[in-house]
Chains A and B, each alone.
Chain A
Amino acid sequence: MRDLIAIHGEPSREVYLDSENSGLIYPKALEEMVRTYKEVGYGNPSITHKIGWESYEVLYKSTEILSQILNTKSSELVYTHGATEANNLAILGSAKANKNDRKEILVSSIEHFSVIFPAERLQEQGYKIIKIPVNEHGFIDNEFLKTKVNGSTFLVSIAPINHEIGTIQNLKEIIDIVKEKNSKTLFHSDAADSFGRVRLNLNKLNLDLASFSSHKIYGPKGVGLLYIKEGLKIEPILHGQLSSQKLWPGVENIPAIAGFAEAAKIFDNMDKNMLLKMRDKLIESILSSTESVLLNGPKGPERSLDNVNLSFLYVEGEAIIVELSMQGIYASSGSACTSRVLEPSHVLIAIGRKYEEAHGSVLMRITPFNNEDDINYVIERIPKGVARLRSLSPIKGG
């Protein structure tokens, strides 16, 4: 790998825009983790000695912080090792506790795979999975939802913000439709990409389950949360030594939880107008400077404040990602070539993009660690990189 990086070279400027996949941590969150590892919180919170009690205290205080931000009770939050596990627990765990004959699950066609795949696994247990279509900007087809939710609907899962194209759903309206049709239907939201981007008042929304992830808000990796509405029946899907949580066995990652809470405080309180300005400047500049580019997802206030997703026609996304990497710009693509399964992004296909349009997509997430100079640099470099690749192409510019 060292040889590869040597050939790549060290660009003079580096702009990291791939926090959708993972990224930097707030320095204060890292400090909090280190303090917890070194001083308080390195023990097992369920053991009755001083170090265990100190660890429990860190767990308790961190959970208080997170529950205040999310407006829940502390007892309604279960820690997992990320949103993937939280989504699996929400879907598989609630199905495991389902003793009635409601066996239909609806998921939007643009959900994260950690929602779609566990739902599909339930087909083996007799569940029917229905994918909810979306329009060209990724908004849920409410009329479809109205016709499909009925007495057999067990669970509906729709994310408040789409992870790839940043579409902000009208979640309240959607939940109301579902609950009006069947008040017993559970509503789950993969809210990993919503935390801090839209205000989710879990106590007021009629949500039953919601998943969160620390690294999506610039906290440490390897820790997530599942909100489970008080009284909801759910069973564990992993089994082992229980610590302080009944639904997730094993020792809690206390330092990561402390870092998660610290990051949540910082990101929740942050003035995000700067992110919004950078997002719009990047989108508008590229659309006006570069030919044959499509914006994936909605414009303006209905788009997540940090999401940029553009399709560059006549070039392949993975090539753009490597090209940009050599310029010190780090992003990702919905191209088949980057997916390891050789199929383009299911989200882009669901909003009506053709395969070739999905292949040329580039996803960038503006973070609190970026500044305007970074964005100016990206605006300057992208058209050049795309032009070079188009000049290689047999389709256009060759």
Chain B
Amino acid sequence: MSDRIPLPYSPKVLELFRNPKNMGRLKDANTQAMAGSLACGDMISIYLKIDDANHLIEDASFESYGCAANIAASSIMTEMIKGKSLEYTWNISWKQISNELGGLPVVKYHCGVLAVGALRRAIRTYFKEKKLPNWLPKELTPDEKHALEEEKLIEVLSKKMEKTKKPKIDLSYRSK
């Protein structure tokens, strides 16, 4: 069995896919960010409501365009960070998300990476006009770089495909 690629999800992934928590835009969010792209087939938006005085996350929500693992990873991450400090939140890794989900299949690790990527972007955005706290590195962390590299790679591939000669599209094959 060692060479076979397992794809089955954990029951937790399926449960959260069916009943995601903290879904949708947060109206009173004071920061938000998006990671991934349409071309990737994976996109996560994270919305955070942060208490400015003590830097605690009062509320968090997400929107997701992606597979079941992507939706479940975003959902569990918002659960993990609610009520937590920004410093704690900043240090959450995609491996922690995967563990909370009961383990992600190897080919779905990037869903965890993307969720963390969106989260860290949201935190960076929050501090854009503010003084950076000591725990927030000025340079991009390896996880942020990873998310960025994935986005860039797929954009390049997708653009490359679009540059090749394409058949014209018949609009009568399209619904309203």
Contact = CB atoms under 8 A, between A and B. Distances in A.
A322 B167 contact: no
Contacts of A315: 65
Contact of A395 (B43, B70, B176): B43
Interface string A319-344: 10011001000000001111010111
Contact of A340 (B7, B38, B42, B66): B7
Contacts of A318: 67-68
B63 interface: yes
A295 B169 CA distance: 11
Contacts of A316: 41-42, 65-67, 70
B34 interface: yes
A394 B107 contact: no
A305 B67 CA distance: 30
A258 to B, nearest CB: 30
A133 interface: yes
A247 interface: no
A135 interface: yes
Given A319-B17, A351-B167, A394-B64, A1 B8 contact: yes
Interface in B8-41: 8-11, 14-15, 17-18, 20, 23-25, 34, 38-41
Nearest to A6: B11
Interface string B155-176: 0011001100111111001111
Give the one of B20, B45, B170 with max A CB within 10 A.
B170
A291 interface: yes
Given A4-B11, A354-B158, A336 B41 contact: yes
B34 A394 contact: yes
A221 interface: no
Give the one of B11, B14, B67 with max A CB within 10 A.
B67
Interface residues of B, number: 50
Interface string A258-299: 000000000000000000000000000011101111110001
A338 B41 CA distance: 11
A3 B13 CA distance: 12
A135 B11 CA distance: 42
A295 B173 contact: yes
B17 A322 contact: yes
A391 B63 CA distance: 9
Size band of the A side of the interface?
A: 35 or more
Contacts of A37: none
A349 B34 CA distance: 26
Give the one of A135, A286, A398 with max B CB within 10 A.
A398
A4 B17 contact: no
A314 interface: yes
A329 B154 CA distance: 31
B175 A356 contact: no
A136 B8 CA distance: 34
A134 B38 CA distance: 25
B119 interface: no
A355 B157 CA distance: 9
Contacts of B162: 354
A133 B165 contact: yes
Give the one of A1, A319, A336, A398 with max B CB within 10 A.
A319
Contacts of A134: 167
A123 interface: no
Contacts of B15: 7
Nearest to B63: A394
Contacts of B70: 316, 319
B170 A137 contact: yes
A355 B174 CA distance: 17
A393 interface: yes
A323 B71 CA distance: 12
B167 A344 contact: no
B63 A392 contact: yes
B135 to A, nearest CB: 28
Interface string B83-127: 000000000000000000000000110100000000000000000
Contacts of A394: 34, 43-45, 63-65
A108 to B, nearest CB: 13
Given A322-B9, A392-B20, 11 more contacts: A134-B167, A136-B167, A316-B65, A319-B17, A319-B71, A337-B67, A340-B107, A355-B38, A356-B39, A392-B24, A393-B43
29 contacts: A4-B9, A4-B11, A4-B14, A136-B167, A136-B168, A290-B175, A291-B175, A291-B176, A292-B176, A293-B175, A295-B174, A299-B173, A319-B66, A319-B70, A322-B9, A322-B68, A336-B40, A337-B66, A337-B108, A338-B67, A340-B7, A354-B158, A356-B39, A359-B41, A391-B24, A392-B20, A392-B24, A392-B65, A398-B25
3 tightest Cβ-Cβ pairs between the two chains A and B: A359-B41, A136-B167, A394-B63
Interface of A: 1, 3-4, 6-8, 133-137, 286-288, 290-295, 299, 314-319, 322-323, 326, 335-338, 340, 342-344, 349, 351-352, 354-356, 359, 391-395, 398
